[in-house]
Amino acid sequence: MMGYLSPNSDELSLHLSWWWGNRYPITLTIADRRHGENIMGKTSDNRDTTIFNAGSNVLQVKRNNIDSENAPFLAGKREDMLLVQLSGGVEIIRGFNIQLNYRMENVNSVMKHTAALTLRFDDF
C-alpha cells in the first residue's frame, strides 16, 4: 500500500464522521504533519544540487562519501503543517449529488484556504 506522506514525515490526526439523516456524511479532519526536506542549493554553474540529503525524496539515492548512512528523523529543512478539512455532501435528486469541501493549511505560518463545490451524477 502506498501512503500519502512523503518519506521523512509523520502525522498525528483526528478524523470525525457524522451521518446526517443516516445518508449524508459530514467529515472533519484535523492533522498535524511534520516533514524534513532535503536542503537544496546551486552549483557554481547555477545548477540545482542537493546540499544535505535528509532522505525526503525516494528518487534521491545515497551519494557515496557525501551522505550519511543514518540521517536523523525529520532532519533537513523542517516543514510543519496544520491541516483542517471539512467535507460533506447531499443527494439533491436520485443519483445527482452535490459535494462541498473546505481545506485550510498552515505550513510554516503561511495560511492557504481552498474551497470546492462538486456536482456528481451516479447512474447505477
Q: CA-based diameter of the chain, in Å?
A: 64
Total domains, the chain: 1
Q: Are 56 and 42 in contact (CB under 8 A)?
A: no
Instruction: Say what the pTM is.
Output: 0.78
Q: Is the pLDDT of residue 64 over 50?
A: yes
Q: Is the pLDDT of residue 38 over 80?
A: yes
Domain that holds residue 113: 9-121
29 within some domain: yes
55 within some domain: yes
4 within some domain: no
The arithmetic mean of pLDDT across residues 25-33, rounded, is 96
**Which of 22-36, 64-78, 82-96, 100-114 bottoms out in mean pLDDT, i.e. has the lowest?**
64-78
